[in-house]
Structure 1
Amino acid sequence: MPDRHEDPPFLKACRREPTEVTPIWLMRQAGRYMADYRELRSNVSFLELCKTPELATEVTVSAAERLGVDAAILFADILLILEPLGFDLEFSKGDGPVIHNPVVEPKDVDRLREMPDATPLGFVTEAVAQIRAALPASIPLIGFAGAPFTLACYAIEGGGSRHYDRAKAFMYRDPGAWDVVMSRLVDATAVYLNAQAEAGAQALQVFDSWVGTLSPSDYKRFVQPHMRRLFAALPADVPTIHFGTGTATLLEAQRDAGGSVIGLDWRVELDEAWDRLGPGVAVQGNLDPVVLLSSREEIERQARRILDQAAGRPGHVFNLGHGILPQTPVDHVRALVEYVHQAR
């Protein structure tokens, strides 16, 4: 068994152990704000990039090394899992993801296929293995998947949405059909994340990007039981990060649903949120991504505020409150990473 005293700071922080520096990684740290990524994308489609392990490895590793962050995150997309479940997925230029055969009526639930193993997503697990082999031992690799609620929203809406009215109306109209959708998504996501861990991912993040559209009571009724089952199905020795946006009213319910680390968006104060969550979980976050568009002085000021709120408590992983924006200067991202490493 490896000596955990030698673990990198990111893994120690996930276990709420003291670290010499505050570990930092950034959501969407490999993306359009980097010129080499844009050049690569000019020659291949987004899906082709996701489905080619060598290319996914290249963008994942190069971003982590260029930024000097304390963890790399697999380059993939949360919607890839929908294809083996029977959905016709397309990434339309300018319009984002489009699902051409969404779930519209309760009877459509019968179309959802089961995914007993991760073979249909073998290109992802192969990318995990290649990335882990290419990274230095000091840089852990984070695998990830979309949370069942967010995946269900895409599957029912047929793409992105402002209010997720179709998905929520489906949920309210037929809770039984909703539970079937969520259960099948939980089953497939558990298989997928376990396969990533087996391939070499040392932590797993679950993105519930749209769960903030729910009230606390609806979350507890329609989502929390499914999230509990998902987290219970993941390896106990692999740190899990439970992240959502717009979740200021849901934090305690998210904590109770599972995850060794709770990801915070920028709409909450980190110290107040951590006090609400209690000492039993680590926290991740939570700089507003737009701050990276300001001056270096403001970036440092805002980062200092968050570090002061963490107050050196074991269990803080510095991150943004959501992903890096495409127009972000790379030098500003590097400046943030350097400042967090130097500051306490």
Structure 2
Amino acid sequence: MLQNDLLLRALKGEKLSRPPVWMMRQAGRYLPSFRKLKEKYDFFTRCRTPELVAEITCMPVHQIGVDAAILFSDILVVPQAMGLDFQMKENEGPFLEYPIRSIEQADRVKCPQVQEELSYVFEGIRLSKQALKNRVPLIGFAGAPWTIFCYAVEGRGSKTFNSVKAFGFSQPAAAHRLLEKITQTTIAYLLKKVESGADVIQIFDSWGGVLSPQDYELFSWRYTQKIVESLCPYAPVIVFAKGCWHALSRMSESGVSALGLDWTVPADKARNFVGALTLQGNLDPVQLLAPISQVKEKTLRMLREFDSQSYIANLGHGILPETPVENAQAFVEVIKEYR
């Protein structure tokens, strides 16, 4: 039995004395202990070594005191298992030498046996659960099909992904074939994560916001919804779709247990869209670079706007690498002291 089940109770909509708190990308980046490992091992070596995965996953629980752990991994392990040779370039991010630009290339992308191709992830979950000793829940995650599709077609990061959208509009058959393959692989992957011990699943759609509302429904949400419907009978599912406030009402009807918010969505507007569904978010991560007094002030304001019921305190996107550890601790402490 979990010693701290606040997150699971919040996802059920139970009445709580305070909201649970965790931070997206909390497992690494800003922690000195993580940076020491970064000096010794490259990015995907860390992701593929279960012992390192468990060590990194537990760091913020032990050092920052968050109410949940999120497995250290990356959304790109899924397309890698599908035969796309993604690299992580220092100071550049994801890189794919041969992006998908035709239906012939889309046809060659495989739907792998995830239990074989991604066995290191599931072993990482087992070791993480062992190391956590039932202290807090463990969150497993994956990228939304559209976000994976963006990297597979662009071959790298982009602010607009215009070439990706152009591919979708000009070659819809190829686009939807690839999106469906990503979706089916992601469903199998996340179901195996739950079977391996993940208590909660979060789906990240970092690039849904580059699409219009109509195109978001066509190219992104229809596929994310398939994942939600496949997973929600087995575990609580959180969907975080950055820049997609317009779809909150539609997403709330899918069976999700919570919806994550970025910092551009006011609490009252979000609540109007989703009713009593649990919300998660949404402090701008840059706010954690301010003096600690301001961090505390902004965090308290966020808590008062959302209230402690049907709410999970978090950031509006991933914590920044330059965030001082003491500022992250102040953010967490304010929430844990809130009543």
TM-score, normalization by structure 1: 0.95
Deviates more, 1:21-30 or 1:220-229: 220-229
Q: Structure 2 matches for 1:306-321, cutoff 5 A? A: 306-313=302-309, 315-321=310-316
Q: Deviations along 1:249-281, whole A, 9 cap, x unmatched?
A: 2322333455211000111112221221122x2
Secondary structure of the 2:118 match is helix
| Residue 209 (str. 1) matches residue 206 (str. 2) | yes
d(CA) in 2 for partners of 1:320 and 1:111?
38
- Encode CA deviations 1:92-129: one digit per residue, 9 max, x unaligned: 11211101121012221111101243320000010001
Of 330, 334, 337, the residue aligned with 1:339 is: 334
Looking at structure 2, the residues matched to 12 and 312 of structure 1 have their Cα atoms a distance apart, in angstroms, of 12
Check if 1:56 corresponds to 2:24. Answer: no
1:328 corresponds to which residue? 323
> What number of residue pairs does the alignment pair up?
339
| Cα distance in 1 for residues equivalent to 2:252 and 2:211 | 16
Residues 256 and 221 (structure 1), Cα distance of their counterparts in 2 relative to 1, 3 Å cut: farther
Residue 31 (1) aligns with residue 16 (2): no
| 1:78 aligned onto 2:75 | yes
Moved over 4 A (4+): none
5+ unaligned residues in a row in structure 1: which ranges? none
Equivalence map 1:195-344=2 (5 Å): 195-279=192-276, 281-313=277-309, 315-344=310-339
Within 2, Cα distance between the matches of 1:235 and 1:258?
6
Matched, 1:137 2:140: no
**1:155-170 paired onto structure 2 within 5 Å:** 155-170=152-167
CA RMSD of aligned residues (A): 1.5
Q: One-letter code of the match for 1:109?
A: A
Q: Determine if contact 2:102/2:174 at 8 Å carries over to the other structure.
A: no
Deviation at 1:312, TM superposition (A): 3.0
- 1:235 offset after TM fit, Å? 4.5
The answer to whether the Cα contact below 8 Å between 2:283 and 2:299 also exists between their aligned partners in 1 is: yes
Aligned AA for 1:100? E
Q: Tell me, what secondary structure is at the counterpart of 1:322? A: coil
Give the partner amino acid of 1:306.
M
Evaluate the alpha carbon distance shift between residue 7 and residue 71 of structure 1 in structure 2; reply closer, same or farther with a 3 A threshold. closer
52-61 or 84-93: which moved more?
84-93
Q: Which moved more, 1:243-252 or 1:102-111?
A: 243-252
Residue 10 of structure 2 is aligned to residue 13 of structure 1? yes
SS of the residue 1:286 aligns to: strand
SS at match of 2:114: coil
Specify which of 64, 86, 89 is matched with residue 86 of structure 2: 89
Separation in structure 2 between the aligned mates of residue 179 and residue 258 of structure 1, nearest angstrom: 23
Aligned to 1:118: 115
CA contact (8 A) 2:17 2:308 kept: no
1-structure distance, mates of 2:160, 2:32: 33
d(CA) in 1 for partners of 2:201 and 2:210? 23
1:138 offset after TM fit, Å?
A: 3.2
Identity of aligned residues (%): 37
Q: Give the distance between the partners of 1:20 and 1:311, measured in 2 at CA.
A: 10
Instruction: Kindly indicate whether the alpha-carbon contact (under 8 Å) linking 2:96 and 2:156 is maintained by their aligned counterparts in 1.
Output: yes
Residue 190 of structure 2 is aligned to residue 193 of structure 1:
yes
Deviation at 1:302, TM superposition (A): 1.1
**Which residue is equivalent to 1:174?**
171
Q: Secondary structure of the residue that 1:243 maps to in structure 2?
A: strand
SS across alignment from 1:305: helix
Tell me how far 1:32 sits from its aligned partner.
2.0
- Asked if structure 2 preserves the Cα contact closer than 8 Å seen for 1:170 and 1:178, the reply is yes
Which TM-score applies when normalising by structure 2? Answer: 0.96
User: Does 2:173 align with 1:184?
Assistant: no
Contact 1:227 1:257 in 2 (8 A): no
